[in-house]
Amino acid sequence: MKKIITLSFLVIILVSCNNRIAIKYDDKNHQLTSLEKNFEKKTSPFLNITFEDYFKSDYIKIYVDKKLVYDKKISTSDILGVADSYELEKDFKEVIIYINNQKIILTKEKTLDYKNIYVNKLPNNKIEILISKKFHIYK
């Protein structure tokens, strides 16, 4: 009986943890504006990671191939709607992003054809990641 209860408890924990991070891919070939085309030319060899909504004193670490490259506490600006960003050269094998204690692993194969990773923290502390070819322009 104890084993069944323990196993049930572990399954509930694993399911709830896995639902806390959602990764979506935007594969559409978007028609770029002239502003987006200029921005794309400047950032083409890079993958941009942008932290957008609902960050409030959240601790972020980014590891690229096991090397710590970003280590900050961030908050979303009410004026800009963005917390921070990081420009990453595309010659990596693996990127690990920690948001507080949540771990996100991205491989080169899954991001090779993309230019942007948008990370949003929802009010319920879930994380949404959009891996996209399109740039978000902030006004």
Average the pLDDT over 6-15 and give the result.
Answer: 48
Residue 10 has pLDDT above 70, yes or no: no
* Residue 81 maps to a domain: yes
Structural domains of the chain, count? 1
Contact present, 46 and 85 (Cβ < 8 Å): no
Q: What pLDDT digit, counting tens, does each position of 70-125 carry?
A: 999 999 998 888 999 999 888 899 999 999 989 999 998 888 888 889 999 988 88
Structure tokens at 45: 């060899």
Q: What pLDDT digit, counting tens, does each position of 32-51 carry?
A: 677 666 656 555 678 899 99
Residues 103 and 135: their CA atoms lie apart, in Å, by 24
* Residue 18 maps to a domain: yes
Domain region containing 44? 2-132
CATH of the domain at 89: 2.60.40
